[in-house]
């Protein structure tokens, strides 16, 4: 936990934060509304004798009282999908609509991409891309299991993504759930900090900046880009968004989220960020008994 000490100045109730990071994370699933409503899914779980609790901020996210969420009837038939609770936040903030064109830049293994398809009623186009060919099979498997017929899979480096393969010239919305140092996954991955270094933070931040800039470039004027990570580091969060608003036509905008979170920071060490970064959300493990996440919503202005 030593690397987390650097966040003491920006985390309220830091001891509660550390205590939460040391506790194992429970199991959660997302109801796949392509196949069933939340009411139908919970009724089946009750019939199975699986105890659950619906998340207060989203009734389609369930905390299961079982060590094997993937062995339930609902999971086998694609009615539920194992997904960390806080991982379901970015697609909700993206708010995709039926019939739109949406790009998920870093989609494998497909939890958020299939969630986007479900939020759209499986109507429209969800381009699910990942640069890791080895993870594409998991992405395709989950799309098929969950019945996401609106989802198309591509394998490319998001930083240099070409629009030539599509009959349209821009996406309506784009999700950048960027590869990161994964500090926020410490509750489910106790070894997440074993290879941590500040050098690694800066290295991965360079990749994140490239992906976010390309996402803005391929999204239409007036469209939405959501940037998210499962880490606490401002170098990978606010600093990346700051780089985007300085170099691309976009602005940080407000969004509603019915769960506890802290505002984005506007200063870190020797760096100062645009005041609009306060509109971002820092979700800490002790606030909702979840993992950690960062989410910022951008509007493309040109």
Which of 266, 267, 259, 264 lies closest to 285, judged by CA?
259
Sequence length of the chain is: 302
- The whole-angstrom separation of Cα 278 and Cα 148 is 35
Catalytic sites, residue numbers = 230
What SS3 class is residue 1?
coil
CA torsion sign for 48, 54, 296, 170 is positive
What SS3 class is residue 53?
strand
**Pair of tokens at residue 13:** 């109730």
Angle, alpha carbons 76-82-85 (nearest 5°): 150
| Helix 111-119 vs helix 133-146: crossing angle, to nearest 10 | 40
Which of 38, 34, 37, 7 lies closest to 21, judged by CA?
7
Q: For the stretch 155-170, what's the b/e string if a residue is b when 16 or more beta carbons lie within 10 angstroms of its beta carbon?
A: eeebbebeeeebeeeb
Write a three-state SS string for 126-171: EEEECCCHHHHHHHHHHHHHHCCCCEEEECCCHHHCCCCCCCCCCE
């Amino acid at each position: 936990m030593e690397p987390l000490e650097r966040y003491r100045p920006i985390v309220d109730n830091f001891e509660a934060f550390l205590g939460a990071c040391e506790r194992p994370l429970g199991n959660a699933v997302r109801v796949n509304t392509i196949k069933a409503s939340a009411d139908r899914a919970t009724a089946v779980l009750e019939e199975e004798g699986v105890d659950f609790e619906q998340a207060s901020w989203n009734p389609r996210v369930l905390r299961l009282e079982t060590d094997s969420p993937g062995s339930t009837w609902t999971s086998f038939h694609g009615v539920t999908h194992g997904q960390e609770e806080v991982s379901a936040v970015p697609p909700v903030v993206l708010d995709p609509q039926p019939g739109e064109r949406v790009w998920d830049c870093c989609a494998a293994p497909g939890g958020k991409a299939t969630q986007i398809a479900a939020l759209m009623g499986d109507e429209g186009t969800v381009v699910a891309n990942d640069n890791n060919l080895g993870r594409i099979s998991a992405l395709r498997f989950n799309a098929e299991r969950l019945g996401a017929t609106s989802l198309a899979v591509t394998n490319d480096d998001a930083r240099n993504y070409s629009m030539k393969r599509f009959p349209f010239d821009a996406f309506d919305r784009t999700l950048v759930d960027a590869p990161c140092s994964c500090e926020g996954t410490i509750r489910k991955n106790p070894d997440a900090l074993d290879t941590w270094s500040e050098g690694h933070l800066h290295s991965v931040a360079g990749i994140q900046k490239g992906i976010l800039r390309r996402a803005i470039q391929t999204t239409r004027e007036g469209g939405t880009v959501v940037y998210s990570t499962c880490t606490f580091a401002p170098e990978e969060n606010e600093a990346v968004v700051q780089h985007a608003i300085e170099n691309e036509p976009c602005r940080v905008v407000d969004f509603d989220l019915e769960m506890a979170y802290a505002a984005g920071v506007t200063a870190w060490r020797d760096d100062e960020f645009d005041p609009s970064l306060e509109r971002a959300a820092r979700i800490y493990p002790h606030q909702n008994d979840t993992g950690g996440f960062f989410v910022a919503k951008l509007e493309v202005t040109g």
